[in-house]
Amino acid sequence: MKTILVTGSAGRVGSRVARQLLDAGHRVTGFDLRAGGIDHPAYREVLGGFDDRAAAREAVQRADAILHLGAFMSWLPADRDRLFTANVEGTRVLLEEAAAAQPKRLVFASSGEVYPENVPDYQPIDEDHPLKPRSPYGLSKLLGEELVRFCERTSGTPATILRFSHTQDASELLDPGSFFSGPRFFLQPKIRQQEGFGNAAAVAALRAIDDGSEALVLSRNQAGRPFRMHITDTRDMVAGILLALTDERAAGRTYNLGATEPVDFAAALPMMAELTGLPLKTIDLPGAGVFYETSNARIRTELGFEPQWTFERMIGEAAQARAKRAS
| Residues acting as catalytic residues | 137
- DSSP code of 124? S
Tell me how many degrees the CA angle 205-280-117 measures, rounded to the nearest 5: 65
Contact 307, 235 (CB under 8 A): no
When asked if residue 148 is in the footprint of ligand NAD (CB under 6 A), the reply is no
Min. distance of Cβ 137 from ligand NAD in angstroms? 7
Min. distance of Cβ 69 from ligand NAD in angstroms? 5
Contact 228, 291 (CB under 8 A): yes
Q: For ligand NAD, which is the closer residue by CB, 69 or 206? A: 69
Q: How far apart are CA 243 and CA 171, in angstroms?
A: 24
Q: For ligand NAD, which is the closer residue by CB, 71 or 239? A: 71
When asked if residue 118 is in the footprint of ligand NAD (CB under 6 A), the reply is no
When asked if residue 43 is in the footprint of ligand NAD (CB under 6 A), the reply is no
Min. distance of Cβ 296 from ligand NAD in angstroms? 14
Min. distance of Cβ 232 from ligand NAD in angstroms? 8
Of 73, 242, 251, 271, the one binding ligand NAD (CB under 6 A) is 73
Q: How far apart are the first and last CA of the chain?
A: 42
**Which stretch in 63-71, 206-214, 277-285, 310-318 sits in contact with ligand NAD by CB under 6 A?**
63-71
Of 59, 88, 95, 109, the one binding ligand NAD (CB under 6 A) is 109
Contact 189, 196 (CB under 8 A): no
Q: How far apart are CA 262 and CA 285, in angstroms?
A: 20
**Burial class (CB within 10 angstroms; exposed 0-12, middle 13-18, buried 19+) of 299:** buried
Residue type, 260: T
When asked if residue 10 is in the footprint of ligand NAD (CB under 6 A), the reply is yes
When asked if residue 70 is in the footprint of ligand NAD (CB under 6 A), the reply is yes
Residue 73's nearest CA partner among 11, 130, 116 is 11
Question: Which residues are bridge partners to 106 per DSSP?
Answer: 66, 159
Of 29, 91, 111, 178, the one binding ligand NAD (CB under 6 A) is 111
Restricted to residues 217-276, the positions that interact with ligand NAD (CB under 6 A) are none
Of 19, 26, 28, 50, the one binding ligand NAD (CB under 6 A) is 50
Q: How far apart are CA 185 and CA 163, in angstroms?
A: 24
Q: For ligand NAD, which is the closer residue by CB, 43 or 50? A: 50
Min. distance of Cβ 263 from ligand NAD in angstroms? 13
When asked if residue 13 is in the footprint of ligand NAD (CB under 6 A), the reply is yes
Q: How far apart are CA 270 and CA 77, in angstroms?
A: 33
Residue 245's nearest CA partner among 11, 10, 28 is 28
Of 59, 63, 86, 315, the one binding ligand NAD (CB under 6 A) is 86
When asked if residue 80 is in the footprint of ligand NAD (CB under 6 A), the reply is no
Element (H, E) at 272: helix 265-276
- Interface with ligand NAD (CB under 6 A): 8, 10-14, 32-34, 49-50, 69-73, 86, 90, 109, 111, 164, 166-167
